[in-house]
Structure 1
Amino acid sequence: MARSLRGLPPDGVPVRWRVVIGVLAALLFGVALTLQARGWTALIVEAGGSCGSRRGVSSGTCPRGSGVTMGLAFVVLVIALPVALVALIGGLKARLGTMVLAVVALAGIVPGQMIFAWAHGPTLGTVWQASGENPDDVEGQGSWLHGSTVVRARFDRLTAYDIATGDVRWTFTVPAPAVLCAMSGAPEGGTGAVGYGEEDGACARLAAVDLTNGRPLWTKDLAPEPGPGVTAGPPRGASPNMVALTRDAVVVRTGGALRAFGLRDGADRWTRPAGKNCEFDGVIGGSTAVLAELRCPVTPQKIVAVDVTTGRSRWETPAPLRSSSADITLLSAAPAVARVHEGGKRGIDAVLSFDDAGRTRATIEVEDGPWRLTSGSSLFEVAPLDPLMVLGDRLVARASGAGGRSEIRVYGLTDGRRLWSTPLEDIEAVHVEPSRVLVLTDGPRSPDLTALSMRDGAKTYLGTTRFRWLSSAVALYSHGDRYVLVAEDGTGSDSFPVAVVKE
């Protein structure tokens, strides 16, 4: 009997099994300790040290996967450490057992890192971010993406950055004492157009800017052109949708007329008068036509498609109003899409798409049961970012519902049907591409980037950023494996005018 018990500890468990159990417990301890360390680091860096909701007060979303990994890791820590200590120190000598525990726990770092990376997802590294701006009341007015260059506009200048390095490629300075008051949409042929004038005065000067070097290709005085039916001059103050670009022309609304100039040479192409006591209240460009809103005192507002070559109307369609006027937001010229918003409880509020003859082909209601499409924007005053976006025959929209819920929706513009919707919380910025929709969702510190398939809305998590704060609205672009964020406010200590992250 004494011989059979030799080599057994007092509790009867063989030493070799004690060592095996101790090694496994030590490995789990190392894994759990790594998960706790990575989880707390992510919580501090990405969420400011707290997250979730307490007593109805939200501290924002927690880092991805942190709840499960940190919870399980805590349980494993509580169990694994005493088991490892008892098994290894009891089965081996104290010094040797402690050394084995430490070595095996260190080996647990590698699987712990792998588990955390799987649960948390990738982190988008910051390639560069531009220095904060002064004075502290200056704001971004709009932005452009042109090849490997991103351009941010403010009241007194345009600044172009190299996406790869963050180097300033060029600066276009608005002539003093004028301020920026108009900006075209997406660039065409390496060209962007801006309007400027005295602060709170008429937006009376137009310049086409070469986006390769920032030099003005030409400038124009937008004083009213003489002629029948031209009764108003350029708009005053910040004037969104004042300048539109087409394949080979710049079209500008001067109130009483639309005027077209050659894209690169500034040659006068045509002038399209609005008519007696009428004025154009917005214009947006397509490849061969522009879409404009026409207001007259005694007739309903019209949506007008104007041929870029001739300046003649391709079609004119009265807005389908139940009252005398409405707010019309032009969303796209090709295809022709506009949002019509009347006041009152029974006023129309819908997105309309039109065919080549100006007939309505689809109507998408802004109010959709408990959901409402987010529309209109006061962000980037000169070139606002509208949350209703058109690409081809699809409308991409943000929708908000009860309880703070939000989602991305895509509708067909041929029939108005909803094609898909994908829930996402705290949507901050959206960028639409032919094959995907990029969505930046804002946590309390570190925004996440997600890609949605344009086909069915399937989600692909691209990663979290490491920005300390997003203190203002941002425009989002992509260039290769890099993602560009252009901030409206770049003046705070933790803010940036422009930043680039990569996978």
Structure 2
Amino acid sequence: MRAGLAVVAAGAAAGLAVEFHILGWTSIPGGSCGGRYRPCPDGTTPTLILAFALTFVGWIALLLTIGKFTDRRPGKALPAVLAVAGVLLALWPGRQAYLWMRGPVLGLAWQAGPDRPSSVRAEGVWTVGAHGSTVVRVRGDALVAYDARDGDRRWTLRAPVRESVCGMSEGVADGVGLVAFARYEKPCDTVWGVDTRTGRKLWERTYPGVAGFTSGSDGLLAADGDTALALTDTGVRAYGLADGRPRWTADLRGKRAAGACAPNVVSAAGGTARVVVTCQAGEKGSGRVVTLDTATGERRGSRALPVESPVDTAMVVAAEPFTLLLEERDERGVAAVLAYPGDGDDGDPVRIPLSADDEDLVPRQTSGEGFTARPALRATVGGGTLVVATAEPGGYAADHVSAYSLRDGRRLWRAGVDGVAGLVSSGRDRVAVLGERGRLWTFDTADGDRIGEADGVMVGTNRLTERTQLLRTHDTWIVVNGQGTKEPPLYGLR
């Protein structure tokens, strides 16, 4: 009896060795891992250590126990049956042990086919439909829609010949998105209204566009209600969102005494449009945020920007409440996120400096190419809170996320991560962070508590490029790459 049980136990050890080898080696994304930027999935190292240890211990024990068993009961069939029984008995416990060592994992559910031509890059992304059932990846040469469930292409809309995407609306209203085109070093002056459900161009308009085009620019278009807004070289033009019929025009250049003034970005939400106008007179600068009624163009108010030198960066973080990333050229000037709580001219914006005593805010991705028409910001606004990637003072790697109140600018919480490759609102009062080393966390925006697994969920794939954008659909996490040359343009995780 004891000799038989010993054979079963030795068979179980040998079976675990084989099982751990299979599970350990197949868990490595792409067949290789290790190092700072391609870490091995959790549980891989202990699984392989146990696999090698059990290989020697199990097989030696199996040979010895079978030898002792056959000394007492000659024959080959019974010890073989006992050994196989041990192997089978070990499979389920071995699988459970591996899952415990590995922890929770998001696996690759699907991946889209590669970009063709390979030189194109993403200018921005929209999600469309109930629970984001369709993802529209806007490239320089085309708009391509993918099914969020399996990654299949739904439709493709090509850009005009010799023209590239130079702008796109931040979001989609009633299924209609706006995209603008320009020829090389020509004004961004052609806008389309696109039905994102079918990929059909609804209308086209040409208008006095801004600047000379070399790459995409953000904040040139906005969609709100039934109105489409396009930034011009002098102000804003409004069109019917569904039919493209002209609605109204606003000239926002202001007085000549302010110097050369031009609209910089437009944003709209909830029937209110806000336009950032910047001015430059020599080495002096000024600016203002003009509030307009989206439907009529009626001016509701104007607030001066707190700048004295030329503005280098004016980027909308959120349309509602209006939150602006502002940096002026003077190194002692404003470099902050500004939150505007209401309309009109009353009250100063809440200011959250980009550089604090113990951390620096890193809301923009600083390397790689892609997402120039609609930037993939490492910051999101929800529930009166700004959640943003942060770094140690003077550092370059964003290894924390912090939350700030948009009511008074106070920091509410701070949490460490292993880098920030993507950051997105994942529901009411929740924000998800994709780490550069392949781990996903979900935080409560109010207090920073981790929701779900305390240590984060491991992502079972190494397919991150230098610029990525994280999206959340109904039951799938979608990672969109700025470039689809070596890695897929987008892929789904479940």
1:30 equivalent in alignment to 2:15: yes
Q: Distance in 1 between matches of 2:17 and 2:477?
A: 33
**Paired position in structure 2 for 1:89:** 67
Write the letter of the residue equivalent to 1:285.
A
Separation in 2 of the partners of 1:131 and 1:266?
A: 34
Q: Deviation per CA, 1:313-353: give whole Å up to 9, x if none.
A: 33322222354545222222311211222345433322121
Q: Which amino acid aligns with 1:213?
A: T
Is 1:316 aligned to 2:299, yes or no?
A: no
Deviation at 1:145, TM superposition (A): 0.7
How far residue 188 of structure 1 moved from its aligned partner, in angstroms, is: 0.8
**Which residue does 2:490 correspond to in 1?**
498
Contact 2:127 2:134 in 1 (8 A): yes
Query: Which of 48, 51, 64 is 2:34 aligned to?
Result: 51
- Asked if structure 1 preserves the Cα contact closer than 8 Å seen for 2:37 and 2:436, the reply is no
Q: For residues 16-415 of structure 1, what are the structure 2 equivalents within 5 Å?
A: 16-17=1-2, 19-20=4-5, 23-43=8-28, 45=29, 48-52=31-35, 58=36, 60-72=38-50, 74-75=52-53, 78-87=56-65, 89-93=67-71, 95=76, 96-97=78-79, 99-147=81-129, 148-223=133-208, 233-237=209-213, 238-274=216-252, 275=254, 276=256, 277-298=260-281, 300-321=286-307, 323-356=309-342, 357=344, 359-360=347-348, 362-377=350-365, 379-401=370-392, 404=397, 406-415=399-408
Deviates more, 1:29-38 or 1:422-431: 29-38
Per-residue deviation, 1:472: 4.6
Match of 1:485 among 453, 471, 479: 479
Give me the TM-score of the superposition, normalised by structure 2: 0.85
Rounded to whole Å, the distance in 2 between the matches of 1:28 and 1:128 is 35
Structure 1: distance between partners of 2:323 and 2:305: 12
Number of residue pairs aligned between Structure 1 and Structure 2? 466
Q: Structure 1's 50 and 205: CA in aligned 2 closer, same or farther, altered over 3 A?
A: closer
Aligned CA distance change for structure 1 residues 119 and 454 (closer, same or farther; 3 Å): farther
| Structure 2 CA distance for partners of 1:269 and 1:403, relative to 1, 3 Å | closer
Q: Is the 8 A contact 1:222 1:234 kept in 2?
A: no
Deviation at 1:305, TM superposition (A): 2.4
How many Å separate the matches in 2 of 1:473 and 1:251?
28
In structure 2, which of residues 414, 418, 427 is the aligned counterpart of residue 421 of structure 1?
A: 414
Q: Which moved more, 1:105-114 or 1:241-250?
A: 105-114
Could you say if the C-alpha distance between residues 404 and 159 of structure 1 is closer, same or farther in structure 2, counting changes exceeding 3 Å?
closer
2:116 is paired with a residue whose SS is: coil
Q: Which runs of 5+ in 1 are unaligned?
A: 1-15, 53-57, 224-232
Aligned with 2:87: secondary structure? helix
- Call closer, same or farther: CA 1:23–1:449 in 2, change over 3 Å: same
Do the aligned partners of residues 426 and 98 (structure 1) sit closer, same or farther apart at CA in structure 2, a change above 3 Å counting?
farther
Identity of aligned residues (%): 27
Structure 1 residues 458, 269: CA separation in 2 closer, same or farther (over 3 Å shift)? same
Q: TM-score, normalised by structure 1?
A: 0.83
In the TM superposition, residue 242 of structure 1 has moved relative to its aligned partner by 0.4
Tell me how far 1:306 sits from its aligned partner.
Answer: 2.2
Paired amino acid for 1:487? N
**Aligned partner of residue 372 in structure 2, secondary structure:** coil
Secondary structure of the structure 2 residue equivalent to 1:117: helix
Tell me what 2:442 maps to: 451
- How far apart in 2 are the matches of 1:196 and 1:403? 34
Aligned residue type for 1:314 = R
- Which whole-Å CA distance do the structure 2 matches of 1:343 and 1:331 have between them? 20
Query: In structure 2, the residue corresponding to 1:360 is in which secondary structure?
Result: coil
CA contact (8 A) 1:193 1:208 kept: yes
> Which structure 2 segments of 5+ residues have no match?
none
